[in-house]
Structure 1
């Protein structure tokens, strides 16, 4: 009988002056072994999983104030047969929980009888919890979400490896104080991090990518964005920052933001590298650009690099199912580099694309547009002081050469590109310290501005509206009540990612203003520079070639 597993447990308790450490040996009935330790633990205690595999076929319930750590792996058994909504770990109305160092394996290879993204066999579910930390944890091979955090306050996911979840890596709903930092995420089905309402959110220094997914992984395919923020008409949010992420090799957009209300406001996106994303084969309006936005106001997008990002670097786009709000939405796009943006589907590519100008407006200034399918012409944008210069990158992570014309050329004298804001303090983008490889073929000559300037005054800017405030934010602080159904999958996600989302998320910043500069000399046309764009990631082999001729191509090694 299974209760005899208690006779086999080795739970060694070491008492200290303030806490106890409970050591648990691996077991074929791992859920009973870990639950026994949790029941014994007091707030402040440590449950340490010794090296080996803890096989589970029932939920492990957290205790209040406990740290779960160790060298062990917690793994779901084959064909577990749970109903949708049941997860490997669960906590409700608890606080001060830390999970560190362990591995949690959802065993999608052994549970092929249920679909991805439909709420089956998630790893962690927290409801109404506070101050939960994941540090150095490996989450892998889930059929649904890695971590769901609902109606809480304080969730930190840092230094983690998140590998092939069946839905989101972190799915935070109606939660304040969220940090998702320094993680490496291989996505499957949907995003690495999805936010649905809350205040004070930081998504920074992550590497987010996807690639070949085989039967050995349990199948599935990645079609979602790297990062998703979505809102309906309910709870607002404020203070959202997406920075210093390296997002690459995705079928979907690098970042997708969508709202059904006027409560999407003030997201700050800066110092990210977004490369080879937006590869969806048809225009579903949310998977074909570096950043796709619908009905978010006062978004500031600055000092990023967009390289080969579908049909647009930044795009406003409306799906057929999206509701339209009687409000004007604005986005500032400045100090960015847009390169290698080419036609991938039947819609001609544009670096900044406004596919719904009825209520969406771009302010575009001090950006560099180079080697794209179509020169940026400011159509459906208010634009000034943009350039078409060879950026002259010095290495694989888009640092500028010392003689690049983009140094000091940006708004407020900043460098244009991913390292332009306080560049001495930016440091590494993403989680990996990529080698800086000098391009032996790069031109030593500074790129020159093209001489065929046309359409210089794109915005018809006048100076009678100085310092125009874009956001005019209002706040509705109504709370969404907790829901009874466990692990309610709000987007009804399927493997091909059809989102019928009713979740919510918004930032309500009032800090962003338009620069009403009267100096306007938009540079239109392709640069004639002869430099090279050097691209490399730790996951791919580089082929360096002239950016003036074609974008670099890649061959993924067989694992």
Structure 2
């Protein structure tokens, strides 16, 4: 009888120990999927797909530790910024692409401040932390839909990332953009690893007022300006990258 009671007590104790973290709001480890074939938790149709992706990102923001996965093969039509919150992983398959939609009003512009430089991927708010973006392709549609936009005039950034502590961008391709591939400002603890920037319209990586940033193992094919630009950066490193030019 004593052994049975001890066994029951042990089982109850184990259950309590496993449920307490969840009750205290422990980070989630779940994955939510976005798809173009109807198989996702959120499903897109190739038009204004930012709506469904942002719904998934809003869910992730309310459930820290969530991964939002963009399933491929599919090209997601982006007519508004994807807004990424803290403790979120945004990832995609290697054949996943987000592509700037056709016929949009100007995002940003030469006279815009950094905070006004709207982009396909956005982190903004001043208190974001622990974000990972990895695995997919970003197409800025310059030659397809915006050939008359003058390159480097601060219009249609691919990523504007402001006020984040702890950001990893990994195994990504940024291509065919009108302005910066990645603009990072007022941020810290940034790791950019194994990316390709192919013909953006300005800088591949533009870091302004950033502390502790590393750009490594990456390839930049430039047609204007810099592969990597550090301005008012402390503890910055550029390691084992390749930079070439193409018209």
* TM-score, normalization by structure 1: 0.34
How many equivalent pairs are there? Answer: 196
- 1:96 shift after superposition: 0.6
* TM-score, normalization by structure 2: 0.77
Look up the match of 2:32.
22
Higher strand share: 2
Residue from 149, 154, 171 that aligns with 2:206 = 171
- List aligned pairs for 1:249-288, cutoff 5 A: none
Please give the per-residue CA displacement for 1:461-520, whole angstroms capped at 9, x wherever unaligned.
xxxxxxxxxxxxxxxxxxxxxxxxxxxxxxxxxxxxxxxxxxxxxxxxxxxxxxxxxxxx
Q: Which runs of 4+ in 1 moved over 3 A?
A: none
Higher helix share: 2
In structure 2, C-alpha distance between the alignment counterparts of 1:188 and 1:30, rounded to whole Å: 29
Look up the match of 1:70.
92
- List aligned pairs for 1:19-418, cutoff 5 A: 19-26=29-36, 27=44, 28-41=47-60, 42-51=63-72, 52-71=74-93, 72-84=96-108, 85-92=117-124, 93=126, 94-109=128-143, 110-211=145-246, 213=247
Please give the per-residue CA displacement for 1:218-246, whole angstroms capped at 9, x wherever unaligned.
xxxxxxxxxxxxxxxxxxxxxxxxxxxxx
In structure 1, C-alpha distance between the alignment counterparts of 2:201 and 2:150, rounded to whole Å: 9
Secondary structure at the counterpart of residue 151 of structure 1: strand
Secondary structure at the counterpart of residue 233 of structure 2: coil
Larger Rg: 1
* Cα RMSD for the two superposed structures: 1.3
In structure 2, C-alpha distance between the alignment counterparts of 1:174 and 1:136, rounded to whole Å: 24
* Contact residue 150 and residue 175 of structure 1 kept, 8 A: yes
* Contact residue 79 and residue 113 of structure 1 kept, 8 A: no
* Contact residue 153 and residue 177 of structure 1 kept, 8 A: yes
In structure 2, C-alpha distance between the alignment counterparts of 1:18 and 1:63, rounded to whole Å: 14
* Contact residue 164 and residue 188 of structure 1 kept, 8 A: yes
Please give the per-residue CA displacement for 1:25-68, whole angstroms capped at 9, x wherever unaligned.
13322111110000111221100000001101111111211001
- List aligned pairs for 1:480-491, cutoff 5 A: none
Please give the per-residue CA displacement for 1:299-350, whole angstroms capped at 9, x wherever unaligned.
xxxxxxxxxxxxxxxxxxxxxxxxxxxxxxxxxxxxxxxxxxxxxxxxxxxx
- List aligned pairs for 1:366-515, cutoff 5 A: none
- 1:154 shift after superposition: 1.6
Stretches of structure 2 lacking an aligned partner (at least 5 in a row): 1-26, 37-43, 109-116
- 1:18 shift after superposition: 4.1
